Structure 1
Amino acid sequence: MQIETIVYIILALLVSLGVGFFQYFFRVKTTPKITIVLFFLKVLSIFLILLLLINPKIELTTTNDVKPSLAVLVDNSSSTKFFKEEQFVNSFIQEVDGNKALNEKFDVGFYAFGENVAQLDSLNFSDQKTNITKAVKSVNELQKDKEGTLVLLSDGNQTLGEDYEFLKSKKSIHSLVLGDTIQYQDIKISQLNVNKYSYLNNKFPVEAFINYEGRKSVSAVFSIFKSRRKIFSKKIELSPNKKSATITAELDSDKEGVHYYSATVSKLEGEKNIRNNSKNFTIEVIDEQSKVLVLSSILHPDLGVFKKSIESNKQRKVEIAQINAFKGSLEDYQFVIFYQPNAYFRSFLQDRKSNFLIVTGTKTDWNFLNSLGYDFNKAAISQSENYRPVYNMNFLTYLQDDIGFDGFPPLRDKFGSIAVKGNSDLLFQQLKGINTTNPLLSTFESGGNKFAVLFGEGIWKWRAASFIKENSFEVFDEFLGNLVQYLNSNKKRRRLDVKLDNLYLANEKIAVSALYLDKNYRFDSRASLEIVVKNEETKAQKVYPFSLINNSYKVSIEGLDSGDYTYRVSVLGQNVFKSGKFKVADFQIEQQFSNANYKKLGVLAKNTNGALFYKDQKEDLVKSLLENEKFFTIQKLEKKEQDLINWKWILFIVVLLLATEWFTRKFFGKI
Structure 2
Amino acid sequence: MQSITLLYIVLAVLIGVIIGYFQYFFKEKNTPKHTVILFFLKSLSIFFLILLLINPKLIKTTTENYKPVLSVLVDDSYSIKYLKQQELQQKILNSFKANATLKDKFDIQYFKFSEAISVADSIGFNGKQTNIYNALSRVKSIQNTHKSPIILISDGNQTIGNDYSYINIKNPVYPVIIGDTTKFEDIAITQLNVNKYSYVGNNFPVEVSVLYNGNKTIDAQLGVYKKGVKVFSKALKLSPNNKSTTINTNLTATSKGIHYYNVVVSKLPNEKNTVNNSKSFSLEVLDEQVKVLVLSNVLHPDLGALKKAIESNQQRKVTIAKPTAFKENIDNYQFVIFYQPDRTFANYLSKRDSNYLIVTGKNTDWNYVNRLSLGFTKSYTGQTEDYNAAYNANFLTFLQKDIGFDDFPPLKDVFGAMNLEEHQALLYQKIGAIETETPMLAFFEKGENKYATLFGEGIWKWRAANFRQQNSFEYFDAFVGNIVQYLSSNEKRNRLNVSVKNLYLANEIINFSALFLDSNYKFDNRASLTVKVTNTNTNTVKEYPFSLADNSYQVNLENLDSGEYKYTVSVNGQSFKKTGKFKVLDYNIEEQFNSANYYKLNQLALKTNGKLFFSNQEEELINGLINDKQYKITQKLITKEESLINWKWLLLLIAGLLAIEWFLRKYLGKI
TM-score bracket, normalised by the shorter chain, equals 0.7 to 0.9
Shift of 1:544: 2.3
- Separation of aligned partners in 2, 1:62 and 1:383: 55
- Work out whether residues 422 and 446 of structure 1, in 8 Å CA contact, stay in contact via their aligned partners in 2: no
What SS does the corresponding residue of 2:472 show, helix, strand or coil? coil
Per the TM alignment, residue 87 of structure 1 is displaced from its structure 2 partner at its CA by 0.6
Q: Secondary structure at the match of 1:153?
A: strand
Q: 8 Å contact 2:341–2:365 — kept in the other structure?
A: yes
Structure 1 partner of 2:331? 331
Contact 1:186 1:594 in 2 (8 A): no
Query: Is 1:483 aligned with 2:480?
Result: no
**Which residue matches 2:594?**
594
Structure 1 residues 634 and 647, CA gap change in structure 2 (3 angstroms): farther
Q: 2:2 — aligned with what?
A: 2
Pair 1:418 & 2:418 matched: yes
1:247 aligns with 2:253: no
Structure 2 residue matching 1:96: 3-state secondary structure: helix
CA distance in 2, matches of 1:146, 1:469: 23
Q: Which amino acid aligns with 1:227?
A: K
Partner of 1:484, secondary structure, is helix
The structure-2 alpha-carbon separation of the partners of 1:452 and 1:647, relative to structure 1 and needing over 3 Å to count, comes to closer
Identify the range of structure 1 (456-465 vs 102-111) with the bigger mean alpha-carbon deviation.
Answer: 102-111
Q: In structure 2, what is the equivalent of residue 470 of structure 1?
A: 470
**5+ long unaligned stretches in structure 2:** 16-43, 649-671
Matched residues in 1 for 2:367 and 2:171: separation? 64
Mapped partners of 1:57, 1:146: distance in 2: 38
CA distance in 2, matches of 1:635, 1:77: 39
2:75, 2:153 within 8 Å by CA — same for their partners in 1? yes
In the alignment, residue 562 of structure 2 is paired with which amino acid? S
Q: Deviation per CA, 1:306-339, whole angstroms, max 9, x where unpaired? A: 3222222211222122111122112222222222
User: Equivalent residue for 1:389?
Assistant: 389
The C-alpha deviation readout for 1:520-575, integer Å capped at 9, x for no partner, is 22221211112122222233333222222222222222222322111111111111
CA contact (8 A) 1:383 1:415 kept: yes
**CA RMSD, 1 decimal:** 3.2
Matched letter for residue 385 of structure 2: E
> What corresponds to 2:453 in structure 1?
453
Taking the aligned partners of 2:118 and 2:383, their CA distance within structure 1 comes to 51
Cα gap change, 1:56 to 1:576, in 2 (>3 Å): same
1:40-439 to 2 correspondence within 5 Å? 57=57, 66-144=66-144, 149-167=149-167, 169-439=169-439
| Cα contact 2:537–2:564 (8 A) shared by 1 | yes
Count of matched residue pairs: 620
1:562-601 matches, within 5 Å, as 562-601=562-601
Does the residue aligned with 1:616 lie in a helix, a strand or coil? coil
In the alignment, residue 454 of structure 1 is paired with which amino acid?
A: L
SS of corresponding position for 1:539: coil
Q: Distance in 2 between matches of 1:378 and 1:430?
A: 17
Code of the aligned partner of 1:529: L
Farther-moved stretch of structure 1 (381-390 vs 544-553): 381-390
Task: Note the alpha carbon deviations across 1:128-151, whole angstroms, 9 max, x for none.
Answer: 233334434444554557955433
Q: Supply the distance in 2 between the matched residues of 1:624 and 1:151 (Cα, whole angstroms).
A: 12
SS in 1 for 2:159: coil
The amino acid of 1:323's aligned partner reads P
Is the 1:197–1:314 Cα contact (8 Å) retained in structure 2? yes
User: TM-score, with normalisation over the residues of structure 2?
Assistant: 0.84
SS of 1:611's partner is: coil
> Contact conserved, 2:146 with 2:172, CA < 8 A, in 1?
no
- Conserved 8 A contact 2:146-2:171: no
1:414-454, CA deviations, whole angstroms, 9 ceiling, x for partnerless residues?
Answer: 33322222422222222354322222222222221222222
Partner SS, residue 568 of structure 1: strand
Cα deviation for residue 120 of structure 1 reads 1.9
Q: Is the 1:181–1:596 Cα contact (8 Å) retained in structure 2?
A: yes
Q: 1:632 to 1:520 in 2, by over 3 A?
A: closer
Sequence identity (%): 52
Query: Shift of the alpha carbon at 1:459?
Result: 2.1
Distance, in Å, in 2 between the alignment partners of 1:487 and 1:344 is: 23
Deviation at 1:169, TM superposition (A): 4.8
**Structure 1 gaps, min length 5:** 16-45, 649-671
Q: Determine the C-alpha separation between the residues in 1 that align with 2:549 and 2:349.
A: 39
Distance (Å, rounded) in 1 between the aligned partners of 2:480 and 2:545: 30
**Aligned residues of 2:177 and 2:615 also touching (Cα < 8 A):** yes
Deviation, 1:390, is 2.2
Structure 1 counterpart SS, 2:351: coil
Q: Deviations over 1:635-654 (max 9, x none)?
A: 66656554455799xxxxxx
Do the aligned residues in 2 keep the contact of 1:82 with 1:591 (CA within 8 Å)?
yes
AA in 2 matched with 1:471: N
Contact 1:68 1:146 in 2 (8 A): no
Q: Could you tell me how far apart the structure 2 residues matched to 1:365 and 1:165 are?
A: 52
Deviates more, 1:249-258 or 1:156-165: 156-165
The whole-number CA distance in structure 2 between the counterparts of 1:457 and 1:328 is: 26
Q: Answer whether contact 2:146 2:170 (CA < 8 A) is retained.
A: no
Closer, same or farther: CA 646–607 of 1 in aligned 2, 3 Å: farther
Alignment CA distance shift 1:456-1:270 (3 Å): same
Moved more, 614-623 or 637-646: 637-646
Per-residue CA deviations over 1:581-635 (Å, capped at 9, x if unaligned) read 1111233333222321212222333344433221233333334344445555566
Q: Please state how far the C-alpha of 1:196 moved relative to its aligned partner.
A: 1.0
CA offset digits 1:255-297 (Å, max 9, x no partner): 1111011111111121222111111111111111222222223
* One-letter amino acid of the structure 2 residue matched with residue 466 of structure 1: N
For residues 447 and 403 of structure 2, the distance between their equivalents in structure 1, rounded to whole angstroms, comes to 30
Paired with 1:151 and 1:514, the residues of 2 have a C-alpha distance of 42
The question of whether the paired residues in 2 share the 8 Å contact of 1:201 and 1:254 is answered with yes
Using a 3 Å threshold, how does the CA distance of structure 1 residues 329 and 633 change in structure 2: closer, same or farther?
A: closer
Change (3 A) 1:7 1:545: same
Q: Supply the distance in 2 between the matched residues of 1:200 and 1:420 (Cα, whole angstroms).
A: 42
Q: What is the CA–CA distance in structure 1 between the aligned matches of 2:436 and 2:69, rounded to whole Å?
A: 50
Task: Report Cα offsets for 1:28-52 as digits up to 9, x if no partner.
Answer: xxxxxxxxxxxxxxxxxx9xx99x9
CA contact (8 A) 2:258 2:284 kept: yes
- CA–CA distance in structure 1, aligned partners of residues 479 and 168 of structure 2: 36
Q: Distance in 1 between matches of 2:344 and 2:109?
A: 69
Bigger mean CA deviation after superposition, 252-261 or 360-369: 360-369
Which amino acid is 2:272 matched to? K
Supply the distance in 2 between the matched residues of 1:384 and 1:6 (Cα, whole angstroms).
Answer: 57
CA offset at residue 474 of structure 1? 1.8
The answer (yes or no) to whether the contact 2:95–2:618 under 8 Å persists in 1 is no
Match of 1:396, SS? coil
Higher alpha-carbon deviation: 444-453 or 109-118: 109-118
d(CA) in 2 for partners of 1:601, 1:205: 35
**1:526 corresponding residue in structure 2:** 526
Q: 1:624 to 1:480 in 2, by over 3 A?
A: closer
